[in-house]
Amino acid sequence: MEQVSASRSHGGVQRVYRHASSATGTPMTFSVFVPDHVPGAMLPVVWYLSGLTCTHANVTDKGDYRAACARHGFIFVAPDTSPRGEGVPGDPAGATDFGLGAGFYVDATQAPFDRNYRMWSYVTDELPALVAANFPADMVRQSIIGHSMGGHGALTVGLRHPERFRAVSAFAPIVAPSQVPWGRKALGGYLGADKATWRAHDAVALIEDGARLPELLIDQGEADPFLENQLKPDLLEAACANAGIALTLRRHAGYDHGYYFVSSFMADQLDWHASRLH
């Protein structure tokens, strides 16, 4: 790994690293906050998956998580949202909801995206192994959070790896990508026309097909412009009710989709994670 930057913050150090990824075949960048701790201590790990158009930097710069992570003794890891670099294909029309910055946390099977867009393997296998090998990470105590497209990622990763995560939550997640424009474009482009293959990357479909978690926490702004057309939290609410999953869906009047919203409730979500990670 190459260290890109290091900054002292809230009784810990915020670092950014770059490394050559075998999953994506490209350089990948991620950020890690490690709070001060007793030498030899192993710390719980909170993973954060970001949304459309984002990199690791959005939450690192605007997420307001470091004070809470220092208080609870959490390592906080934020990867990028897609492969990047020369030769990595993007949206043919230049749109921002597919391709660069919009990997949707899947392993693409359709050319030309199958060459680099292997974000599922990156966030579930390669990056966890890298973090475990290089940081004081207690991999028995992990949790995951995501925002928007990253909320979709956090929910699907958590539902497919329930033994790995003690807590799963999201901010304004895309809960049913098979049923909304962003998701249909991305899943069709990366995985092909057979919608049966999409179900493994759709939280509502996974729950309908038997995936289970004990509980979920969702924060959703009621002034979010994407609420009705792209996010549809009511679909997750119904699926969880039918499956017996304890869903806490907190609706916040006046809040939109951006990081003013995320940062307002980040500490609350990390407190919720703390009660399960400790």
Question: Within its chain, how far is the Cα of 93 from the centroid?
Answer: 26
Residues spanned by the domain of 57: 2-277
The reply to whether 257 belongs to the active site is yes
pLDDT score at 142: 98
Catalytic residue among 148, 152, 169, 219: 148
Here the CATH number for the domain that contains residue 127 is 3.40.50.1820
Please pick, among 147, 152, 257, 273, the residue that the annotation labels catalytic. Answer: 257
* Total structural domains within the chain: 1
Q: What is the pLDDT of residues 137-155, one digit of tens each?
A: 999 999 999 999 999 999 9
* DSSP codes, 189-215: HHH-S-GGGGGGG-HHHHHHTT---SE
Residues 179/231, Cβ–Cβ less than 8 Å: no
Write down the catalytic residue from 107, 202, 219, 224.
Answer: 224
Task: Note the pLDDT of residue 116.
Answer: 98
> With a cut of 50, which residues of the chain have pLDDT below it?
none
Kindly report, residue by residue over 60-96, the tens digit of the pLDDT.
999 999 999 999 999 999 999 999 999 999 999 999 9
Give the contacts of 200 (CB within 8 A, at least 6 positions apart). 156, 160, 206
pLDDT at 76: 99
